[in-house]
């Protein structure tokens, strides 16, 4: 095994790159990468959030197409609906996701990783709370099929909050000049049962996740007017933050060096209240489902 085996994952990721979204698919197990070993891989999934779906009805899509490219747009409740849809897609987009990652065992019970999701940079560490710390080649004391592992992780992601490439969102972007950015923190508590000693043929993992997000956004329309024939002032950059609470399960199947990892995460979040143009506001909350399918390579420590 050598690091050139990671190249196919990189090529596939570039082909399937989509609009960026903070990664929330939990594909790790309770056992961290053993000291001196590398793990790498590729994940593809879908972020399905109820909040933006609820704000993107046919009336909103029709209004978006009507205001796009117009030299003058009269302010109306429809403009508020367009803003609410843009914010909902910023805080939790409905879109496919993909990422490529690499992890390294720093010391016994602690590994660190980097993940790139085509617009989002993700850094994380994971500390193993329970279970042996051996390798497939040199199992630790007590390692066997069914051994329980547990770990606590910390993941930080930063990105510009680009809207997904959907026609009605492109219309909102062009007419209301939306901009945004976000930072996301995830803390997963993971438990797993090994298939074979030291996960030689995989594992089943499950657990709980706490997340916190910080977002900034603003609107700067140039063609929206009040009935008094006064141009609507722009909404300067606004800051908001919200918490997420979730659970997950994933299945790791393979043998020694290569594994397939289907996973599902579910989150609930009350996103809170968001200011809109002309003193209006909107409230958002909802549930998010994140199914994914991943591929992992294990690169054992060179002897």
Structural domain that includes position 253: 3-299
pLDDT > 90: what percent of the chain? 70
In CATH, what number is assigned to the domain containing residue 72? 2.40.160.20
- Write out pLDDT tens, residues 147-198: 999 999 999 998 877 777 778 888 888 889 999 888 999 999 999 999 999 9
What is the rounded CA–CA span in Å between residue 213 and residue 121? 15
What is the rounded CA–CA span in Å between residue 43 and residue 100? 7
Strand partners, 98: 44
- Write out pLDDT tens, residues 59-115: 788 888 888 878 888 999 999 999 999 999 999 989 898 999 999 999 999 999 999
What is the rounded CA–CA span in Å between residue 222 and residue 174? 10
Burial readout 55-76 (b: 16 or more C-beta within 10 A, e: otherwise): bbeeebbebbeebbeeeebebe
Domain count, the chain: 1
pTM of the model as a whole: 0.87
Residues with Cβ within 8 Å of residue 57, at least 6 apart in sequence: none
What is the rounded CA–CA span in Å between residue 174 and residue 170? 6
């Amino acid at each position: 095994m050598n690091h050139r085996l990671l190249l196919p994952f990189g090529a596939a990721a570039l082909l399937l790159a989509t609009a960026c979204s903070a990664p929330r698919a939990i594909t790790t197990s309770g056992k961290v990468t053993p000291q001196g070993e590398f793990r790498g891989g590729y994940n593809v999934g879908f972020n399905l959030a109820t909040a933006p779906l609820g704000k993107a009805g046919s009336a909103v899509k029709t209004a978006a197409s009507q205001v796009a490219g117009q030299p003058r747009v009269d302010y109306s409740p429809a403009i508020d609906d367009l803003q609410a849809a843009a914010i909902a897609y910023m805080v939790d987009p409905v879109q496919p996701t993909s990422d490529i990652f690499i992890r390294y065992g720093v010391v016994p019970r602690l590994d660190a990783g980097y993940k790139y999701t085509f617009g989002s940079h993700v850094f994380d560490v994971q500390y193993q709370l329970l279970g042996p710390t051996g390798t497939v080649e040199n199992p630790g004391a007590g390692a066997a099929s069914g051994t329980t592992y547990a770990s606590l992780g910390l993941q930080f992601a930063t990105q510009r909050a680009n809207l997904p490439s959907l026609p009605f969102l492109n219309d909102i972007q062009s007419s209301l000049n939306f901009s945004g950015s976000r930072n996301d923190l995830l803390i997963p508590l993971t438990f797993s049962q090994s298939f074979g000693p030291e996960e030689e043929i995989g594992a089943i993992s499950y657990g709980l996740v706490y997340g916190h997000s910080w977002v900034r956004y603003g609107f700067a329309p140039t063609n929206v007017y009040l009935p008094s024939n006064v141009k609507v002032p722009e909404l300067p950059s606004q800051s908001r933050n919200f918490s997420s609470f979730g659970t997950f399960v994933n299945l790791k199947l393979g043998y020694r060096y290569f594994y397939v990892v289907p996973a599902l995460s579910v989150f609930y979040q009350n996103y809170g209240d968001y200011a809109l143009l002309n003193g209006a506001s909107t409230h958002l909350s909802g549930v998010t489902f994140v199914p994914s399918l991943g591929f992992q390579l294990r690169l054992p420590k060179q002897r």
